Amino acid sequence: MDKVVSLCKRRGFVFQSSEIYGGLASIWDYGPLGIALKNNIANYWWREMTQLHDNIVGVDAAILMHPQVWKASGHVDGFVDPLVDCKQCKARFKAQDLIKQWRAKKKLAAISDGEIPDGGEGDIEQLMKVRWPEAACPSCGTTGNLTAPRQFNLMLKTFLGPVEESAAVVYLRPETAQGIYVNYQNVVNTARVKLPFGIAQIGKAFRNEITPGNFIFRTREFEQMEMQFFVPPADATEWLVKWCDKRFKYYKKLGIRPDKLRLHQHTPQELAHYAADAYDIEYEFPFGWQELEGIHNRTDFDLKRHTEFSGKDLSYMNEETKERFVPYIIETSSGLNRTLLTCLVDGYYEDTQDGEARTVLRLAPEIAPFKAGVFSLVKKDGLAELADQLANDLRKVGAVFVDHSGSIGRRYRRMDEIGTPWGITVDYQTKEDQTVTLRDRDTLEQLRIKMNELPGWMAAKLVVG
């Protein structure tokens, strides 16, 4: 993990936010390569969900929404984490995490009074009852200093307008999903969609996470790629299974190693208040198995709540049967930054080539920041001009990086380290037969190919499906 973090900084994928001022904890900026990779992943997801599905359309809702949205969604009352403070060292912990830690160490005897909940999202009431007068603080080790749990809302607040008063409070959205639900009727009325259909959205979300960390894995500002699929209630279970399958295959297509992926079904304790059934797609990070994407059967909870709070009828009429009902929703909710971290961690490896250490990012060509490095063997004798000309042709297909100086081996290695799948070298033979050397990052195979065939060859490699 440390190596990935250092590569990100060294090559300009990710920088700490406001670094010249000492940084802002757990907030990150994306550099030239990072934004290219992030945009490519977002585009890959967008194409997968909308272009390859004729029954999924997109929206882009605003980050700020009517405050009632968050009452209807349950976030004002329910989006809370019970927190415990140590009076001695002032460290702050999620009650859930303390229980998990103590369970793992079998130190449950240290916790007295109250029942010991399983630590799931549905257990907030139980968590609030837990007391631990004899327990030791995991940070400073003193006993008897942990407070009773207190509720802490994870939504970030701000004010609209010039006056900072309670009537002007708005929230930075903690998830993108609600922007889809409140536009559901607009989409039905304008996009000629019929059930089952989906609405996709990519956008920022904000959560005042208590324990952010692991680089860009958990941050307070992040991006989600969400798709809400509206189905007749009787078909919800079938669609949940279908979407789990499709989404699992998607990560494999993205090049993630299958043995590092698994599907985890939520236990009743883990289920969120709105879900009837849910699965997480998990990836084995260096810090353990963690959620990459949540796939939930949200039932008719959201549309019913918005009907109740807005007074607008959000039911659906089946034109053929004239039956009216509130659709169920299957949600696929994936983190863009977390997917990016997964691609970096999964693709990172080191080997030795010709006696020299090599760092490689095995990124799928579709998402790699540069598709090819284009090099001239030497800068003179017209080779640099030929390489520039080829690069201009290739740019119409995908981003390329041109480099005319240094040893070819070093130029290849610089490209390997940032995940560029192909290296192309223009040499003296190019002047005679218009062929170039094409070198593959992963197999290291080299072949000669006609310059004018390269754009077509590369375009064919980058087709998604």
State the angle between helix axes of 336-347 and 2-11 in degrees (0 to 180), rounded to the nearest 10: 110
Positions 425 through 464 that interact with ligand ATP (CB under 6 A) = none
- The answer to whether the beta carbons of residues 360 and 351 sit under 8 Å apart is yes
The contact mask relative to ligand ATP for 171-200 (x = CB under 6 A, - = no) is ----x-------------------------
Out of 337, 425, 430, 435, name the contact with ligand ATP by CB under 6 A.
337
> Cα–Cα distance between 146 and 129 in angstroms, integer?
14
Q: Which of 277, 293 has the CB closer to ligand ATP?
A: 293
Out of 334, 342, 376, 425, name the contact with ligand ATP by CB under 6 A.
334
> Residue 214, interface with ligand ATP (CB under 6 A)?
no
> Cα–Cα distance between 379 and 34 in angstroms, integer?
29
Adjacent-strand bridge partners of 360:
349
Q: Write phi, then psi, for 389 (nearest 5 degrees).
A: -65, -45
Q: What is the 3-state secondary structure (H, E, C) of 270-319?
A: CCCCCCCEEEEEEEEECCEEEEEEEEEECCCHHHHHHHHHHCCCCCEECC
* Residue 422: CA count within 13 A, CB half-sphere: 26
Residues 6+ apart with CB under 8 A from 299: 233, 236, 274, 275, 276, 328, 329
**Distance between alpha carbon 74 and the CA centroid of its chain, in Å?**
23
Out of 178, 201, 214, 219, name the contact with ligand ATP by CB under 6 A.
219
The contact mask relative to ligand ATP for 249-288 (x = CB under 6 A, - = no) is ----------------------------------------
Q: Compute the residue count for the chain.
A: 465
> Residue 94, interface with ligand ATP (CB under 6 A)?
no
> Cα–Cα distance between 397 and 259 in angstroms, integer?
32
> Residue 338, interface with ligand ATP (CB under 6 A)?
yes
Q: Which of 280, 300 has the CB closer to ligand ATP?
A: 280
> Residue 333, interface with ligand ATP (CB under 6 A)?
yes
Out of 209, 282, 284, 393, name the contact with ligand ATP by CB under 6 A.
209
Least Cβ distance, residue 337 to ligand ATP (angstroms): 5
Q: Which of 179, 335 has the CB closer to ligand ATP?
A: 335
Least Cβ distance, residue 367 to ligand ATP (angstroms): 17
Q: Applying CB under 6 A, which part among 49-57, 75-83, 330-338, 376-384 lies near ligand ATP?
A: 330-338
Residues that bind ligand ATP (CB under 6 A): 175, 207, 209, 218-219, 222, 224, 291-294, 333-335, 337-338
